[in-house]
Amino acid sequence: MSPTVFRYKNYRFFFFSREESRMHVHISSPGGEAKFWIKPVVALADYSGFSERQLKDLGRIVEEHAKEIEKVWKKHFSC
């Protein structure tokens, strides 16, 4: 199961239900994929297909939505 946290333009922000326990979010679009850690600070973990500019924008979006991502994470994983 991969619950969607939110969508922004053509990006989907989501989790994989059976993955590592460190809080993070995956981002997918037709042009690429990325993974950002949420805690202890928002940081890029991995990516493919995105430009540096896209990654910078995505990092900003993740930071702006970090509290929402954390809330959905805790609810989904029953933390």
Helix (H) or strand (E) holding 12: strand 11-14
> How far from each other are the two terminal CA atoms of the chain, in whole angstroms?
17
The pLDDT value given to residue 1: 67
Contacts of 11 (CB under 8 A, 6+ apart): 27, 28, 29, 58, 61
Q: What is the pLDDT of residue 4?
A: 94
Which range marks the domain in which residue 40 is found? 4-76
Token pair of 16 as six digits: 């994989």
C-alpha torsion angle, residues 60, 61, 64, 70 (rounded to 10) = -120
Question: What pLDDT does 2 receive?
Answer: 83
Reported pTM: 0.92
Choose among 16, 27, 31, 10: nearest CA to 65.
Answer: 27
Grouped pLDDT means (10 residues each) for the chain, 79 residues? 91 89 95 96 97 98 97 87
Please count the structural domains in the chain: 1
